[in-house]
């Protein structure tokens, strides 16, 4: 993680308060903006990423396709599109489908995030950045939901929470095939 990365600090209604160093925000548990992207292929498979061993928290855990934080000058959507390109080497259309706020202990850090959720569809080639992503795989939602319930320790905490809250919506999205 670049020490000069800043996150957008917000109140519970997502009103911007300011900016803070990303690592400091996670150490202090300060509420900040984040995004999570769920990309499906045209067969209805969700693309998962296994986080790189180099990640400062939750290394080598499976998670949604892409997640991150908008920079102070970015919108949620522009930040999500940037991270899809940086982490996975892809460009695709995305659409918002929800928000979730959580306060989760992750090792010695705290993920206190106002997280905007996006979905999209992509059938092309992925070019993962090995500093960000250890591997990717395509999965059907029902077996994934079963495995997350049986083996939550293999997944990031926020991904487990989002799947619990939004499983019905994600199942509908997986059948859409396109935006």
pTM for the whole structure: 0.95
From 66, 67, 87, 111, the catalytic residue: 67
The structural domain count of the chain equals 1
pLDDT value, residue 135? 97
Count CB-CB contacts under 10 A for residue 16: 11
Contact 65, 47 (CB under 8 A): yes
pLDDT value, residue 22? 94
The answer to the question of residue 179 being in a domain is: no
The answer to the question of residue 110 being in a domain is: yes
Contact 58, 134 (CB under 8 A): no
The answer to the question of residue 62 being in a domain is: yes
Range of the domain at 55: 6-174
The answer to the question of residue 98 being in a domain is: yes
pLDDT value, residue 83? 97
From 66, 105, 113, 132, the catalytic residue: 113
pLDDT value, residue 57? 86
- State the pLDDT confidence band at 1, using cuts at 50, 70 and 90: very low
The answer to the question of residue 1 being in a domain is: no
Q: What are the tens digits of pLDDT across the range 124-179?
A: 999 999 999 999 999 999 999 999 999 999 999 999 999 999 999 999 999 997 77
The answer to the question of residue 27 being in a domain is: yes
Q: What are the tens digits of pLDDT across the range 55-89?
A: 888 889 999 999 999 999 999 999 999 999 999 99
User: Does residue 92 carry a catalytic annotation?
Assistant: no
In whole angstroms, how large is the CA radius of gyration of the chain? Answer: 15
* CA–CA separation, 171 and 173 (whole Å): 5
CATH of the domain at 36: 3.90.79.10
User: Does residue 113 carry a catalytic annotation?
Assistant: yes
Average pLDDT, stretch 81-110? 96
């Amino acid at each position: 993680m670049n020490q000069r990365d800043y996150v957008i600090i917000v109140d519970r209604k997502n009103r911007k308060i300011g900016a803070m160093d990303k690592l400091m925000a996670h150490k202090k548990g300060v509420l900040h903006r984040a995004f999570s992207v769920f990309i499906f292929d045209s067969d209805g498979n969700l693309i998962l990423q296994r986080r790189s061993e180099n990640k400062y928290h939750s290394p080598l855990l499976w998670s949604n396709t892409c997640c991150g934080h908008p920079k102070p000058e970015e919108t949620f959507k522009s930040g999500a599109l940037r991270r899809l390109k940086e982490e996975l080497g892809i460009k695709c259309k995305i659409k918002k489908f929800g928000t979730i706020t959580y306060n989760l202990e992750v090792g010695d850090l705290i993920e206190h995030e106002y997280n905007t959720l996006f979905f999209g569809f992509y059938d092309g080639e992925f070019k993962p950045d090995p500093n960000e992503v250890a591997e990717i795989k395509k999965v059907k939602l029902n077996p994934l939901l079963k495995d997350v319930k049986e083996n939550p320790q293999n997944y990031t905490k926020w991904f487990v929470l989002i799947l619990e809250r939004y499983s019905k919506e994600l199942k509908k999205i997986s059948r859409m095939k396109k935006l």
